[in-house]
Structure 1
Amino acid sequence: MDLPEECWELVFNLVDHRHRFSSLSLICKLFLSITNDLVTTLAVSRPTLPLLPDLLRRFSRLRKIDLSGLDGDVDPILSRIAESELNLEELDISNRKNLPTHGLRALGSKLKSLRRLNCSQIGSLRDSDLNTIAELFPLLEELDISYPELGLSDSCSFLRPVTDVGMLSLSSKLKGLRRINLSGNHFITDQSLVFLSKDCLLLGEIVIHCCDFITQNGIAFLFRRCANLNSVSVSGIRFSLDDSTFHDSLLCAKALRVIDFTESVIADELLYAIREASLPLNKLILANCRGFTFSGISFLLSKHQFIQYLDLEAANFLTDDSMFELSEFLRGITFISLSMCNKLTDSTLFCLTRNCPFLNEIKMAGTNVGAKDLSFSTGSVANARIKYLNLAQNRSLGNESIKHYATLCPNLQMLDLSNCEGITEEGVFKVLKRCPEIRYLGLNQCIGIKTFLVDFELSNLEVLCARGSGIDDSGLALIGNRCPQLLQLDLTGCLNITAKGVKELVQSCRALREINLKWCNNVNVDIVAWMVFSRPSLRRIVPPCGFVPSESLRNLYLRHG
């Protein structure tokens, strides 16, 4: 206890999950005070509303409040937050029917420090709402107004969407805007990008997915006018280099580090132009793009050999041989997605582990991994940096293959084998034996998994997703005995489990916070009450079908957290 408080703060900052602070805070008043100060984010749910005034006083260093999980009127809540005098920097009010204007006015009158505002999925978002936001929070640096149509309150809202007029008002008042997400606003045009380019000189990142009237001309204008632009994310654009305008605009984008052209139509000429522009590119996303070939992507990557993030999902021209060539240009890569590239096999996986020494995450879902004989991989090299491996939807994948991958990636923390029908508990046992650091294990729809044959403790496993698997009561009992730190368990559609197995698991997993029993038709709904009172750590329960609690019972459960 003689250690200075500042040192304890450094120690506690190494804790990977903030929910573990609840245990530390019980040790002594000093630890309670320190953990209170280190909590900077609060997600408000309906059960926490009665405690909100106390929480706002307790966590005086809150910087972000998330109200996206609340339904109904949040104006009174925003007014309460305004009275707390917190130095709030970020607010999430997404997933609402309407913008909570009254609450925001109360907040804006007292809170001048707000820098980030999330208003995504606001049902009836209008031009006047954008003007209100800009007037109330003139110092905003990040704004999300994406996908307003997802929460439309009535059909009349179609008559008052966000348009270029609202964007003109917004851009003229938010001179310090650095990031904006406009996705799903179908009535804005290239003119909105012109307004942003002229007024928001600090704009560094823009996201424009599913905007029907945004074209490459608007994007080209951004490139020419926004000297600080470092990230552009668009989708569904048909790029053409018939004239030199777009090509010349790329030469002006000297700060561009991130390019995301998801689901767009691009040609090799565009990739040639990106290479010629000599951009400081470190992230490239061409997921589900059409029109380009191996020649174009190879030519681009040969110039940008220090790219760190690459997504080529559904680039079906890729083969094992072509990936061998590309891997020579990926020496600095940390993330790669080759999902849905159905010509790729084990050869590509082994090539990446061998040739990419900094690789941290590999996504090869829906490929042909597991189809080749493993005898060719005798020269493969283990890569201790790889922490995440997604091999879901590989129908050819079997136990022998994943045993070998576990040897190549001994420090795995996340492994997804969902929809791999050839995987059984024998293969999973070998993987867990060789990769003791695994925290997330995805076994969804793995019908070959019946039990959980593990005779050693999995002290790091925190999340187990086993939706639609063949797991039974004996498997649940083993999970409970072997996974003391399990936090989340998804058993959706597991028809072989009963209340008996669930009870054994819940009794053993003292840290369990979430359990999903949806469509577990053989689990009695009475198990819900038992779980609420038997496992205080639980925060979220998705009950079996047929569970209809009375109002008094619902309130009782909510009072238990």
Structure 2
Amino acid sequence: MTENPLDLPPECWELIFNSLNDQSHFESLSLVSHRFLSITNYLRNSLKLTDPSTPFLPQLFNRFQNLKKIDLSEFQGDPNSILYLISRSGLDLESLDISNLKSFPFMGLKELGTKMKNLKELNCSKKFSFRDSDLIAIAETCEFLEVLDISYPDNDSSFLPQEFQNIQPFSFYITDSGIEALSMKLKRLKRINLSGNFFITDKSLMFLSSNLVLLREILIRDCDFITQSGISFAMRNSPNLVSISVNGIGIPTIDSCFKESFAYARGLCEIDLSNSFISDELLRLLGEACLPLKKLVLSHCYNFTLAGISFLLSKYQSLEHLNLKAANFLEDESMIDLSKFLTSLNFIDLGFCAKLTNSTFFTILRECPLLSEIKMETTNLGLDDFTTPLVINPQVKSLHLARNGNLSDEFLKKLAVLCPNLEVIDLSHCLGITEEGIGEILKSCCEIKCLEIKRCRAVFDLGIDLELPKLEVLQASGSALNDHALKMIANTCSRILHLDLDNCLNVTTSGVKEVVEHCRTLREINLRWCDEVNVDIVAWMVFSRPSLRKIIPPCGFAPTESQKNFFLRHGCLVYLYLGSKKLALRLDVKDLVMHSATE
């Protein structure tokens, strides 16, 4: 008797489903059987809510009882009401995102804080008019927080009502007083992002370092009144500090106290000094500190030389993440010398290093056997011959090579052989490549999931007529893709999820229909500025392809009321552009409950 392959124990199916990279795949699985529906409901741990149709949310929470993370960053309704519902849902949340909200949901957060004792992460970034009283409310209601993001508040006072604009100048901002109150309450805090809070000073870092013994990560970018003295204090007085991210350091000079502070931060694994005026002396002191350094970011830093970075890298040959973006002194010869220190790297960013050519790319492929992601955007890739010894690197999964005007099909052919396990490649704005080179990449790299060819004006199709079962994302805005290319995509890309055709002037209604009819998993499509695509196709798309969740239609689309209701019933977001503003006909939560759409 033949056994039914679906009769595996639930634990086996859970392992299989959890191996998927994206929980959006759960939707199609949930339609297979009641058993798969039950398993995917149990496994879903995150949910993003946008629609204010709160009467149906209790059913939604009852369906997904193991939710650990809820994202309200695009929620359009009353945040207090939704937080009340979440607090009474019986869920055991660990992470909540309330960024981008126009007001602070004090009452809702207070209610949720009394029920959700395991809430460890809270994101309040980019919130309008964030102030000290909001911080105190967070400290009093979410005392078990370990991660807090209060970065880049939107405190433009010109948008405040007239009656508030003359009230105390700092009453609508976060200040040292708010940070002090926070540090006295949140004793379990391990990571805090203060970036973009313009009115905090060194006192804030002193409060955090003195009161939060468990603090491990501090992000303080774009804080104008934070000085080297405050950063030095934090590094010297935070015994568990493993990561620090700052920018704009060293203007005009770096003081001795800051230079010596690295010797006290014995546990630092990650250092980000982007956009700073650093010196070889600082790099030497950093090298002599003998830190357990794994990540170093010197993006757009200046005043250091090859000698300084060479000394530093020689001391940290176990470094895994290196960002030297815009280090303009780097040349191919210097990268050959540096590469012998980079054998442990899994990430490198050499973008905007204009003197680097093919030689550097092939050198790091050969000398860095663990490298999984390379960024060399806006360099001189494509120049130089191929005399450098070539070695296959099966570890490389992601390449970002956008804006290399000299990049050629010949280079892509070499690349296809040397990186056979490539999953993500960005070739946007590479004007010298054609479908011939793209075809070689797709033919040799069978694991490709994401292909970006934005503004590649000489790419008319994908250059291959073979099945591409792994391709999920195609970003082709502004390219020369035509209906022939869309027919090719329809026939070969059975699992494509996201298709961006913005400003593809050669695409017509016929080609779009081919894709919508044959790509059964398609979730998002962008047709903005596709002037040859009839706006009347939108309703047909929603009806014909139930998997669609987001459509950006051609310009000029103006739905009737009956069409709006139709889109909502089918659970599809249709974006409308009014001038420079983008609006959306949002997903109806009722449909989310009744069907198996879970995003």
Distance between the aligned counterparts of 1:394 and 1:164, measured in 2?
45
425, 434, 443: which one aligns with 1:415: 425
Distance between the aligned counterparts of 2:7 and 2:508, measured in 1?
51
Task: Report how many aligned residue pairs link the two structures.
Answer: 559
Q: Deviations over 1:327-362 (max 9, x none)?
A: 000010000000000000000000011100101011
C-alpha displacement at 1:14, in angstroms? Answer: 1.2
Partner of 1:114: 119
Tell me whether 1:328 sits opposite 2:334 in the alignment.
no
Q: Deviations over 1:80-137 (max 9, x none)?
A: 1011021111100101111111211221232222110000011111100000010001
- The percentage of counterpart residues that share the same residue type is 53
Distance between the aligned counterparts of 1:534 and 1:10, measured in 2?
33
| 1:465-544 matches, cutoff 5 A | 465-544=475-554
Where relative contact order (Cα < 8 A, 6+ residues apart) is larger, the structure is 2
Counterpart residue identity of residue 496, structure 2: L
Instruction: State the TM-score, normalizing by the size of structure 1.
Output: 0.97
More displaced stretch, 74-83 vs 3-12: 3-12
- C-alpha distance 11-242 of structure 1, shift in aligned 2 (>3 A): closer
Tell me whether 1:405 sits opposite 2:423 in the alignment.
no
Q: Deviations over 1:424-462 (max 9, x none)?
A: 111111111111111110100000012233121111100
Structure 1: tracts of 5 or more residues without a match: none
Tell me whether 1:38 sits opposite 2:43 in the alignment.
yes
Distance between the aligned counterparts of 2:530 and 2:33, measured in 1?
42
Distance between the aligned counterparts of 1:120 and 1:200, measured in 2?
21
Structure 2: tracts of 5 or more residues without a match: 1-5, 572-599
More displaced stretch, 341-350 vs 249-258: 249-258
C-alpha displacement at 1:244, in angstroms? Answer: 3.4
C-alpha displacement at 1:35, in angstroms? Answer: 1.6
C-alpha displacement at 1:29, in angstroms? Answer: 3.1
Q: Secondary structure at the match of 1:471?
A: coil
Partner of 1:370: 382
Distance between the aligned counterparts of 1:151 and 1:504, measured in 2?
47
Partner of 2:446: 436
140, 147, 150: which one aligns with 2:152: 147
- C-alpha distance 2-431 of structure 1, shift in aligned 2 (>3 A): closer
Distance between the aligned counterparts of 1:233 and 1:287, measured in 2?
12
C-alpha displacement at 1:240, in angstroms? Answer: 7.4
Q: Secondary structure at the match of 1:533?
A: helix
Partner of 1:165: 177
Distance between the aligned counterparts of 2:34 and 2:552, measured in 1?
35
Q: Secondary structure at the match of 2:469?
A: coil
- C-alpha distance 27-203 of structure 1, shift in aligned 2 (>3 A): same
Distance between the aligned counterparts of 2:156 and 2:482, measured in 1?
39
Partner of 1:265: 277
Tell me whether 1:66 sits opposite 2:71 in the alignment.
yes
Partner of 2:225: 213
- C-alpha distance 24-243 of structure 1, shift in aligned 2 (>3 A): closer
Tell me whether 1:284 sits opposite 2:296 in the alignment.
yes
More displaced stretch, 299-308 vs 473-482: 473-482
Q: Indicate conservation of the 8 Å contact 1:454/1:482, yes or no.
A: no
Q: Deviations over 1:53-82 (max 9, x none)?
A: 212001111110001121342211111101
91, 103, 111: which one aligns with 2:108: 103
Q: Please provide the CA RMSD for this pair.
A: 1.6
Distance between the aligned counterparts of 2:71 and 2:88, measured in 1?
17
Tell me whether 1:130 sits opposite 2:142 in the alignment.
no
Q: Secondary structure at the match of 2:551?
A: strand
Q: Secondary structure at the match of 1:359?
A: coil
Q: Indicate conservation of the 8 Å contact 2:539/2:563, yes or no.
A: no
323, 326, 344: which one aligns with 1:314: 326
76, 82, 87: which one aligns with 1:77: 82
Q: Deviations over 1:260-285 (max 9, x none)?
A: 11111111111111111100000000
C-alpha displacement at 1:241, in angstroms? Answer: 7.1
- C-alpha distance 48-264 of structure 1, shift in aligned 2 (>3 A): farther
C-alpha displacement at 1:504, in angstroms? Answer: 1.0
20, 25, 34: which one aligns with 1:29: 34
Partner of 1:198: 210
More displaced stretch, 31-40 vs 276-285: 31-40
Q: Secondary structure at the match of 1:252?
A: coil
